[in-house]
Chains A and B, each alone.
Chain A
């Protein structure tokens, strides 16, 4: 069950302070929305989270009072924007416990971060016959970039299998970690199954063989809390919009020694030291990987989001979400005909399920008419669906502003689904 995810996140397993959910909810204007005449019950947080007022205000303030291009102007506003952007990098570095802000590269999101590593690190290091090892529970964003790389470099993609409960088969993983493995890329918290992977166990095994590990933290960064030094990973990616921040901004963390050796990914302004028609040289980290004008407002908004989340405290968030997941698992689990997809011992914030005789889209449709937002589909993880023999699942995913009353609304909604589709 989910009770051990506090330990898995690298946070102290202290008794967390109680989360003041009413106060948290009051910071999210959108949660007052009514849908089809019913109060919105937003349970699609794994797709994207809603935004608190301080993040919305930061975006608005930036465009009202601080907007300019960064790193090039001597004028007042350019300095203000640069300070805001670089200040956000410092905030993210603290949030992830990176050794230095130079290890924080702003990208569009987790997907772009993985593509950057594949195209920069992968293309410069990998040779035909080399292997990349992923797991059977990856999101398409941690499969397809490696397939593209495999086509370009003649490398081979290996996939560690899952157990029936939705856990990584560690014995099989260890066997696949071989002399030809050059990179391991694993999801921290599965978006389709809710499984928390034993990342420290994985990085320890890879470290012994000198193999770098990329961790896809799109779901874990907002729901587990992350310490990249404790995880001992080499790369870590996450998306701002799943962490109460804006869309279009995300983070690639990379160990400085690795980022230093990697060639640039995209060329353009801001990433150079000098340019002539014969030859250009690259800027120092992290500018080397940030060609062109970045999403300045987005980075500033993300900086506000990580500070906002840290101020609430990840321990309290994890405890609250674990309680919701335990409650939802029990309540949905007792519905006749309901099957949970993903029953790993260590899970967090995500409940994937199927109802006998009712397709996930129809579940999602009936719930929507009750004001309840869930995700129905393959969750960009088609191989996971194939592994468990389902075309699609319904997924409720929780965030710190959700309540047990909303879980009750979900269960009542599912009773309605069953009534509509009763034999």
Chain B
């Protein structure tokens, strides 16, 4: 696999073209904005909670293919999960994209999110891949302040 195709895997390109759950949620319980001031990327994540479980999640905003596809795949991955599940998943995802958790078996349980493992070779893009996750975390913690990945 070339560096290019390791970064821009087909699943990423497809989610960039047709992002899932890409909409405002007017009846959301919570939302948070993520911003990347250095590159101008911006997105908002909306949530509906059923007790401890994420009943619905959506996002909207503008950003590169990595940030958009990551947000899209994140919404698909966290729907129906508990807060604790989400925290574990983010930690795992973060480890893989930063390359700190490189090696055999580290992508297990990440499902489709494993397509972002190629990001670890492009450290400047880690903030793109994690922007939506930081926003989701902020929304879960009910923070009103926009979060930044710079």
Residue A158 CB within 8 A of the other chain: no
Q: Which residues of A contact B63 (CB under 8 A)?
A: 359, 361, 391
From residue B3, how far is it (CB to closest CB) to chain A in Å?
6
Partner of B122, one of A360, A365, A376, A385: A365
Residues of A whose CB lies within 8 Å of any CB of B are 36, 357-362, 365-366, 369, 376-378, 382, 385, 391-392, 420-421, 423
Residues of B within 8 Å of A385, CB to CB, are 40
Q: Which of B74-121 contact A (CB under 8 A)?
A: none
B interface residues, Cβ below 8 angstroms from A: 3-4, 7-8, 13, 16-17, 38-42, 62-66, 68, 122, 125, 128
Q: Is the CB of B40 within 8 A of A365?
A: no
Total contacts A-B at CB 8 Å? 49
Q: Which residue of B lies closest to A366 (CB)?
A: B4
Q: Are A361 and B38 in contact (CB under 8 A)?
A: no
A25 to B64, CA, bound (A): 34
**Are B38 and A377 neighbours in the complex by a CB distance under 8 Å?**
yes
Expressed in whole angstroms, the Cα–Cα distance for A362 and B129 within the complex equals: 13
B13 to chain A: closest residue by CB: A421
Measured between beta carbons, the chain B residues less than 8 angstroms from A362 are 8, 64-66
Please state if A392 and B40 are interface contacts (CB–CB under 8 Å). yes
Known: A359-B64, A362-B64. A377 touches B40 (CB 8 A): yes
Which residues on B sit within 8 Å (CB–CB) of A366?
4, 8
* A-B contact sample (13 more), CB < 8 A, given A366-B4, A377-B38: A359-B65, A361-B63, A361-B64, A369-B3, A377-B39, A377-B40, A378-B40, A382-B40, A385-B40, A391-B40, A391-B42, A391-B62, A391-B63
Which residue of chain A is the closest to B125 with respect to CB atoms?
A: A365
Show 16 residue pairs from A and B whose CB-CB distance is below 8 angstroms, ordered by the A residue: A36-B3, A357-B17, A359-B65, A360-B64, A361-B39, A361-B128, A365-B64, A376-B39, A377-B39, A378-B40, A385-B40, A391-B40, A391-B42, A391-B62, A421-B65, A423-B17
Min CB distance A412 to B, Å, is 14
Q: Which residues of the other chain, B, contact A423 by a CB distance below 8 angstroms?
A: 17
A209 CB, nearest partner CB in chain B, Å: 37
Tell me, rounded to whole Å, the shortest Cβ–Cβ distance linking B106 to chain A: 24
Q: How far is the CA of A79 from the CA of B57 in the complex (A)?
A: 69
Question: What residues on B are CB-neighbors of A420 within 8 Å?
Answer: 4, 8, 13
- Give Cα A366 to B13, complex, Å: 13
A367 to chain B, nearest CB (A): 11
- A84–B144 Cα distance when bound, in Å, is 55
- Report chain A residues within 8 Å CB of B16: 421
User: Which A residues are CB-close (under 8 A) to B8?
Assistant: 362, 366, 420
| A358: B residues at CB distance < 8 A | 65
Q: How far is the CB of A339 from chain B (nearest CB, A)?
A: 16
Distance, CA A366 to CA B125, complexed state (A): 13
Q: How far is the CA of A39 from the CA of B123 in the complex (A)?
A: 22
User: Given A365-B122, A421-B13, A391–B41 Cβ distance below 8 Å?
Assistant: yes
B131 to nearest A CB, angstroms? 12
Provide the bound-state CA to CA distance between A358 and B13, in Å. Answer: 10
Query: How many angstroms from the CA of A357 to the CA of B68 in the assembled complex?
Result: 12
Q: Which of A362, A366, A391 has the most CB of B within 10 A?
A: A362
| Complex: chain B residue closest to A416, CB-CB | B4
Question: Measured between alpha carbons, how far is A378 from B41 in the docked complex, in Å?
Answer: 10
Q: Give chain A residues whose Cβ lies under 8 Å from the Cβ of B128.
A: 361
**CA separation between A366 and B65, bound complex, in Å?**
12
Contacts of B122 in A (CB 8 A): 365
B118 to chain A, nearest CB (A): 12
Determine the distance from Cα of A394 to Cα of B125 in the docked complex, in whole angstroms: 17
Within the complex, the shortest CB–CB distance from B72 to chain A, in Å, comes to: 14
CB distance from A45 to the nearest CB of B (A): 20
B121 to chain A, nearest CB (A): 11
